[in-house]
Structure formats: C-alpha cells, structure tokens
Chains A and B, each alone.
Chain A
Amino acid sequence: MNIAADPVVLGEQEADFSSVDKARVVEALARVLPAGALMYDAEDLRPYECDGLSAYRQMPMVVVLPMTEEQVVAVLKVCSEIGVPVVARGAGTGLSGGALPHKFGVVLSLARFNRILHLDAHARTAVVQPGVRNLAISEAASPHGLYYAPDPSSQIACTIGGNVAENSGGVHCLKYGLTVHNVLRVRGVTIDGEVVEIGNHGLDAPGYDLLALMIGSEGMLAVVTEVTVRLTPKPQLAQCVLAAFDDVIKAGEAVAEIIAAGIIPAGLEMMDQPATAAVEQFVHAGYPLDAKAILLCESDGTPEEVAEEIERVRAVLEASGATEIRVSRDEAERMKFWAGRKAAFPAAGRISPDYYCMDGTIPRKRLGEMLEAIQEMEGKHGLRCINVFHAGDGNLHPLILFDANQEGELERAEAFGADILELSVALGGTITGEHGVGIEKINQMCSQFTRPELTMFFRVKGAFDARGLLNPGKAIPTLNRCAEYGRMRVSNGHVPYPDIPRF
C-alpha cells in the first residue's frame, strides 16, 4: 500500500516538501499557463507573503493567476503530479493565516475570477466566480430589491471564495445565517484536477452534504471556481436601537433577555467602554462615552413589524437596566450607529501600532465571565484589550493591542490570545466562530478536539485530497504538533496524547 496515500499517516506529522524543485515547477506551470499568469520573482511574490494576519509571513515559491477553470485544472494536475503544495487565495483579508503561502508551494490566486456569471432575480440566485467581492453581489442584486445577506465587515474587499472557505458571517447573521445558510452550490476542482459540483440549484442535493464539508474548509478540500448564492429580499425598513449600560454584566444579561423574549433581531452587537472610546474619536458616532458597555440592536422588516419589535426591545432593555436608549430616527442615524461598530478594527489600528483579533464563540450566558477573565488577563500579560462582540450569537472579537516592534510584545499578545481561546473552549464554546483556524489557532485545535476526532478530520481531508497537497499545515493540527503543544501547555496536570513521541 502506498503510505503517502493513507490519510491517517498524513495526519501524524507535518509533511516535508523541501525537496520540491522550483525550476521544475516553474517549467511545468509555464507550459499550461499564458504569459502574465505565472510569477516567481521575489518582488512579484511579495504582495502574497501574508493575509490579514500580518504577523505571520512567508514568501511562496510561485504565484499563479489563472483566468479559466481549465487553467485551474491544469495547474492542479501539474502540482498533483510533482507533489507541490497549493494554497488558494482570494483577497487575502483572512484573519487566521489561511492564505499564508507555503514555502515550497504555489499560491493559486482567484483574483481574475471576478465575474458575476448569472443573476436570476426571479429564482433569487446568483452564480458568481470565486473572486467576486462579497459586496459586489449585493450591489448587482440591489436593482431587483435583493441582496446577499452575509455581510462581513470586510465585505468591500473579501471574496465569495474566501467567504465559502471560512464560512464567514456578519452582523446580520443572527437572523439571516452564515455563508453555509446562504450558499446553494459550489463548483470546484480537486487536487487531482477533477471538476466537482457540490450542492444544487434547488434547496438540497442527493447524497452526503458535501456542501457543508466544503464551506468552512479553508481551501483544504478543493479549489472553488464557481459559487451559487441565495439572494434575500431587502427589508422595507431597518431601525437600530442603541442602549447604554453602566455594567458589562448587565449588558450581557440584556442580550439573553432579548432572545428569551422570543425576539431574533437582525443584529445584536456589544462593545465595551474602551472599544467605544477607541471608535468614537475616530468616527464620531455619538456613542455615550460614560457607558461601561453599549448594545446595538437592529430590527428589520415591514414598518409595522419593525415598530412592534422596537417597542418590545425597548421594554426588555429598560427592564434590564439600560441607562440610556436611543432609536435611530432615520437611515442616516442608523448608519451612524453602525459606523462605529463597523470601524472597530481600523480604530484599534489607530490607537495601537498592532492589534490581534480573537474570534472565540461562547454560550451567551457566559459573556460576563469571559469579560471579567479578559480583564484579569490584561494584567497578567501586560497588554490592553478592547472588546467588540457579535453578542447575539456569542461570537467575541477581543482586540488585543500590542506593538510588534517592542521586544516580546507579539509573543505576549499570542499568549494572551491563546488564554482567551482556551477559556472559550472551557466555557463550552469554540476557538473560532468565523475567522477560521488557519495557522493561527492550529495549536488550540488540540485542546478542542480529541485525537480520534483530529484523525477523522484528516480522513475527511483524505477523501478529497489523499496526499494532503491543498493548504498543508493549516486548520487541522497533526498529532505530532499536538504532542509538542501538549508539552508546552499542560492543563490540570493532564498531558494530551501521552503516547505520541515528543521531540
């Protein structure tokens, strides 16, 4: 039996690709690609050296920019034949290093797949190429009174291919769902160069739900070349409530109370005082600066529906001890309320040379505990952290502020982040709600999953990519990596994977 073809062996330790011969790869790729679609000089490769998580950098060996699916097939066949790692790339806005190049690999950019192929307003679907920007879909659908619901804050830049790979969400996913709820079908190419259609133009497909496996798979199973998305009718009206609290715990409880009242708002976001202060000096959203936390709660629907829901929300917020409640009076004011929240990341970038965005998700009722723990961690690691949350679904984005030019601060920020992630798991949550594992959270995967579960992930990968050439070293840690991580981090005196050799 071919050892390399056994996915379980694949999951034991990281594969070594150092024997890949660049000249041979370049020569083989040049044969299948037109001029201008292949780059291998250092200065051309530089823009690809990192994604949105810029603390991690790696120059690729080669970058390819195919324009057609046939070229993608040809590239993958070459890479498969020679045994070269392939990292697909959209806009490079990912925050977990998913598109971080492989030193001995090819970066396959989908930037030239930027066409909306077909928009069927009657069926409310759009067939788009993977390099189309998220917002461009909604813009194209807008004249028909439709939009693409998942709205990551990065939506002007990020691509639908990247969204599929990360199962991206946005502030409205509490009510309208994540990427996985809004994509009907993807077409992709496996590492063997086989074109596969997964999902359907209808509401379901025969066989296993491969679409669920593909969405959120971080470019590890196939290269996506086409996506069919579902479009949603634009609500007639949206209105936003801004509520201030003198205590973060109370704000957290108000979130649970809104849900308990049977309300699923279109968005339900929370920011703590330091986050509010950071964005206020930047966008002047008019946020109350004395509040310990603010909530943004959006209602959308028909005017009657919105009026009814806003009244119910207001009653809940009052009963939960909000110190101030404002309801947006017009679209301009609603946009202003949101402007601050949407600017949280850039604002962090303004008040600190660097920031590190975390993405754990916890049960809503543990929000208060998490916030208190983060405060303690600030002391422990000697770094500040500002907090913005997709509170409605328990997804936290603590932004750890640091300065990479200060000796040791990056390491402290990483240790701080790791503490938050481990606590997210301990509180019954997950290390990543929407940004993906990538390379960034790969060690924490060892705390969230057991050895047989990780092995099963490798087997799933093996069902698509038997030799592990698509984005190797990402998303799922090898058992060796976990053994090493276990040696560094021992929780409760329990060493994970005691029977794996350690180096």
Chain B
Amino acid sequence: MSDLTEQWRERVRAAAEAGTPQQVRGGGTKDFYGRTPAGEVFDTRGHTGVVSYEPTELVVTVRAGTPLAELEALVAERGQMLAFEPPHFGAGATVGGCVATGLSGPRRATAGALRDFVLGVRIVDGRGEVLSFGGQVMKNVAGYDVSRAIAGSLGTLGVILDVSLKVLPRPVAETTLRFALGEKEAIERLNDWGGQPLPVSASSWADGALHLRLSGAEAAVRAAERKLGGEVLADDVAADLWQDIREQTDGYFANVAPGEVLWRLSLPSSAAPVKLAGRQLIEWGGALRWLRSDAPAATIRDRVAALGGHATAFRGFDRAGDVFQPLPAPVMAIHRRLKQAFDPAGILNPGRLYDGI
C-alpha cells in the first residue's frame, strides 16, 4: 500500500518539460495491444492499495498499480465481482492497465463493459496536474464524463492514479449449455434469445459448437435451462471454458499461426456471417467476432465497416500501422484536439492509439 501521487506528478512535469515520451506500463501483460509502445518505461506498480471498499455501496476505489487479481480476490470475499470480467492476459495485470485498455470479458454483452462500471478516476494529465473526475456514487452528471473517456484511452490522456469501480453481487447460480449449431444458426439463435428475458451471461461459438452461460437466481437459471435444452456442461469444465476464452488461453487463441493476424471484429450482434477467410470464434451474442486470418487488412476493414462495425488488429499485426479502425476526418480532428487538451507535449504513450495520439 503506497501512494506515489507526488512522485508521479513530478515525473510527468519533468517529462513534459523535457519532452521525454513516457511508456506508462503496469504488469506489461497488455504490451501487445495497440500500436507500438514508445518511450521511457513508467512503471505504475509502486502505486498500490485499496483506497476504500464499501460492499453495501457497491463501490471500490483502488490505486492503479494494484494487481487486478488482488482486487478480484478482495471483492470475491464479499460475494461481489467485477461484472465486466476483464481479461488479465497474464500474471501481474494491474487495475490501471485493465482500465486503460478498457477490455471486457465474456459477461460484457449482458452485464455491460468496463466503461459502464467506471464511476470516477483520478489522473495525472500530461501537464502534471492531478485531476479528479466523476466520483464514488452511481449517478453523477456534474461536468463531462471524463472518467469513462479515460477508460480505453490506452494511457494517452493521463496516467491513471486511482479508479472507482462499481461492483456487483456474484450470481447465485450458473450453468453452461452446449448446442451443435452452424455459424448462421448460432447468430440467429443468440439474437432470438437476446430478445427474451433469459438470464444469459455469456456465449461463445466456434467450430459448430455454441456454448451459452446462464447466471442469476437459482430458479431463473433452472427455468431457462429447461426451456432452452442443450447439453449441460459439468461445472468445472464450464469454468475452464469461460476462463480460457476470457484469458485467450483457449486453443483457438493460443494457436494463431505465423502470418495470421488475430482480428477483433465488433459488429451489430445480428450482422450476417462475415464470410472472410480464416477461423472464427464468436462471443457477446454475436457482437464480438474473433477472426484468425491472413486476409489483407483492407479487405477485413471494408467488409466489417459495410456490416456496421469496426476491426482491431489484436495480435500478430504490424504495429507501426493502424491497429484500430481509421476514423473519419472530423472525428479524428476531435481526437487530436482532445489529446492536445490532456497532453499538449505529447509525452504520454505517444502513438499507441493512432499515429500522433
């Protein structure tokens, strides 16, 4: 438990003055994500500790360098969880890295994304000012919602000091069902179910098999299980399955071949099969489609854009180029001005999100 606010403020100030780029880094478990990291490593792991945890308020405030595993264990003791199931992608993942990358796991489609659970942040901006936005309450519309905008900004707007996250009770019951279905049928079915009051909490389709997780009150889960049919997985098998998908330790992710890129396609859940070369794993009720492919980036981006979505080159791509879907000019202009607003010297994770940002 230690508070490095003052050191960090000094460090950013000095870096801004000298124009020394800083690569803000926690456990380094997500070093692979985004464009090529640049700059002197700014290790956040010294700024740790839970600032406050109020189970009955459903809020935990924690310093950025705190290991994510520690936070999860703490809230689990009180029967609570981070409902967005953030991936760790390795031992040593920190809360700061989790928020900065903004990635969510299997429960996202029904429980909400990481950004939906961010109630407040404290950051050091690129001038070395300590700023606090949002707070620890559920509803707060005082000022622009900067804290949610910090989530997923890949450390390019500020160094996250602390974050307040909403936590939720863990579901009482959970069960996983398996169905043999082709891609098109699986997407259809997932969207049909999505329109019904069913306690779906995760889904995953690959190679003709659809897995569906149900979570909630005992009675609701049992009733849904009877209604939906399918084959019930043993609890330990199901737990491993969702863990492997969340952490990408599943064979699908682990065996990305040389020359293949792992694409993350974000689409309207009901979008038709993408029909791109390569192998897929579909999550989030159809809204997240992983694609291992050696097809040209332009082909993939165009197809996904035509379907109303966007594509991220998640792993195995040339990181000097555009990893994230290029933005239309007026939106890009807003991005540049926001970067300028938070980090006028351009020293915080420069270029990690887009060229110059």
Contact string, A195-236, partner B, CB cutoff 8 A, digits 1/0? 111101111111111101101110001000000000001111
Contact B308 A200 (CB under 8 A): yes
Contacts of B116 in A (CB 8 A): 177, 180-181
CB of B17 closer than 8 Å to a CB of A: no
Contact A462 B337 (CB under 8 A): yes
Question: A145: which of B140, B191, B195, B340 is its contact (CB, 8 Å)?
Answer: B195
Question: A169: which of B139, B308, B324, B337 is its contact (CB, 8 Å)?
Answer: B139
CB of A292 closer than 8 Å to a CB of B: no
Question: B169: which of A124, A264, A464 is its contact (CB, 8 Å)?
Answer: A264
Given A195-B330, A235-B197: A180 and B145 interface contact (C-beta under 8 Å): yes
CB of A50 closer than 8 Å to a CB of B: no
Question: B342: which of A394, A456, A476 is its contact (CB, 8 Å)?
Answer: A456
CB of B168 closer than 8 Å to a CB of A: yes
In the bound complex, how far is the Cα of B217 from the Cα of A263, in angstroms?
Answer: 10
Task: Look across to chain B and name the residue whose beta carbon is closest to the beta carbon of A231.
Answer: B195
Distance of B351 from chain A, by nearest CB (Å): 14
Contact string, B122-152, partner A, CB cutoff 8 A, digits 1/0? 0001000111110111111111111011011
Question: B312: which of A206, A263, A363 is its contact (CB, 8 Å)?
Answer: A206
Contact string, A385-405, partner B, CB cutoff 8 A, digits 1/0? 000001001110000000000
How many pairs, one residue from A and one from B, have CB atoms within 8 Å of each other in the complex?
267
Contact B197 A234 (CB under 8 A): yes
Question: B151: which of A178, A209, A362 is its contact (CB, 8 Å)?
Answer: A209
In the bound complex, how far is the Cα of B342 from the Cα of A434, in angstroms?
Answer: 26
Contacts of B146 in A (CB 8 A): 213, 456-457, 460
Given A7-B341, A212-B149, A365-B57: A457 and B267 interface contact (C-beta under 8 Å): no
CB of B229 closer than 8 Å to a CB of A: no
Task: Look across to chain B and name the residue whose beta carbon is closest to the beta carbon of A475.
Answer: B143
In the bound complex, how far is the Cα of B190 from the Cα of A479, in angstroms?
Answer: 52
Contacts of B102 in A (CB 8 A): 209
Of residues 150 to 167 in B, which have CB atoms within 8 Å of A's CB atoms? 151-153, 157
Contacts of B222 in A (CB 8 A): 304
Contact A308 B149 (CB under 8 A): no
In the bound complex, how far is the Cα of B143 from the Cα of A53, in angstroms?
Answer: 19
Distance of B212 from chain A, by nearest CB (Å): 16
Task: Look across to chain B and name the residue whose beta carbon is closest to the beta carbon of A433.
Answer: B139
CB of A80 closer than 8 Å to a CB of B: no
Contact B145 A308 (CB under 8 A): no
Contact B197 A301 (CB under 8 A): yes
CB of B255 closer than 8 Å to a CB of A: no
Contact A394 B338 (CB under 8 A): no
User: Among the interface residues B108, B334, B338, which one has the most CB atoms of the partner chain A within 10 A?
Assistant: B334
In the bound complex, how far is the Cα of B79 from the Cα of A456, in angstroms?
Answer: 38
Contact B137 A430 (CB under 8 A): yes
Listed in ascending order, the chain A residues whose CB lies under 8 Å from chain B are 7, 120-125, 144-146, 166-167, 169, 173-174, 177-178, 180-181, 190, 194-198, 200-210, 212-213, 215-217, 221, 233-236, 256-257, 259-260, 262-264, 301-302, 304-305, 307-309, 361-365, 390, 393-395, 428-437, 441, 445, 448-450, 452-453, 456-457, 459-464, 466, 475-476
Q: Can you offer 14 A-B residue contacts whose CB atoms are under 8 A?
A: A145-B196, A180-B116, A202-B266, A202-B287, A203-B109, A208-B335, A256-B56, A262-B172, A308-B220, A393-B137, A433-B138, A437-B143, A452-B129, A475-B143
**A201-B308, A450-B132 known, 4 other contacts, Cβ within 8 Å:** A206-B327, A361-B140, A363-B57, A433-B139
